[in-house]
Structure 1
Amino acid sequence: MTTTDQLLQAGIVPVFSHADADISVQVVRASYAGGIRVFEYTNRNASALDNFKRLVAAKADHFPDMLLGIGTIWQPEHARQFIEAGAAFVVAPGLNPAVGDVCRTQNVPWLPGCMTVSEVFQAMQAGADFVKIFPGEVVGPAFVRSVKSVLPTARLMVTGGVEPTEASLSAWFGAGVTAVGMGSQLFQKQAIAEQNWKAIEQMVSRTLTILEQIR
Structure 2
Amino acid sequence: MTVDATTPALARPRLDVGLAFKGGWNAFTADIVPLLLGTLIAGVLSIVTLGILAGPLFAGLYNMVVLRIREDRHARVEDVFSCLDRFWSFLGAAIVLVTLIGLASLTIVGGVLLATIWMYTVPLMVDRGLGVFDAMGASYHKVVDGGFWEHLALAVLFVVLNAVADGPLAIVAVPFTIAVVGAAYFVTDGRGGLVERPPAAPPAAPPLPQT
When normalised by structure 1's length, the TM-score is 0.27
When normalised by structure 2's length, the TM-score is 0.27
Q: Based on CA coordinates, which of the two structures has the bigger radius of gyration?
A: 2
Greater share of residues in strand: 1
Q: Which has the higher contact order (CA 8 A, sep 6+)?
A: 2
